[in-house]
Copies of this chain bind each other. A is one copy, B any other.
């Protein structure tokens, strides 16, 4: 099951553009104050740093990712989630597109 939509969101209209546009997201705030973002990573190999802990949920496409301190690349496809601790990082490899929801823990 993939999450096709998120209801009741207040959407920040200005996009977050990272890595010269290889990652573009829009920030959302839900009625209960929960913050998320919806975004896409285009073909690239990137390293993302976390402030708060995050859960990345794939909604379309896919990626390979490697958490800090791990040597293992793992795959993530539609419906899959992976968690990144606070103040950490992960590498991500995308061949086509990785569409995601970022949940902040």
Chain A interface SS verdict (over half):
strand
Interface-facing stretch out of A10-18, A66-74, A84-92: A10-18
Please name all residues of chain B whose beta carbon is closer than 8 Å to the beta carbon of A56 when the two chains form the complex: none
Q: Does A4 count as interface, using CB distance less than 8 angstroms?
A: yes
Stoichiometry (number of copies)? 2
Please name all residues of chain B whose beta carbon is closer than 8 Å to the beta carbon of A21 when the two chains form the complex: 21-22, 24, 40, 42
18 A-B residue pairings within 8 Å (CB atoms) = A3-B13, A4-B12, A5-B13, A6-B11, A8-B10, A9-B9, A9-B11, A11-B26, A13-B60, A14-B59, A15-B38, A15-B40, A15-B97, A17-B40, A17-B42, A21-B21, A21-B22, A21-B40
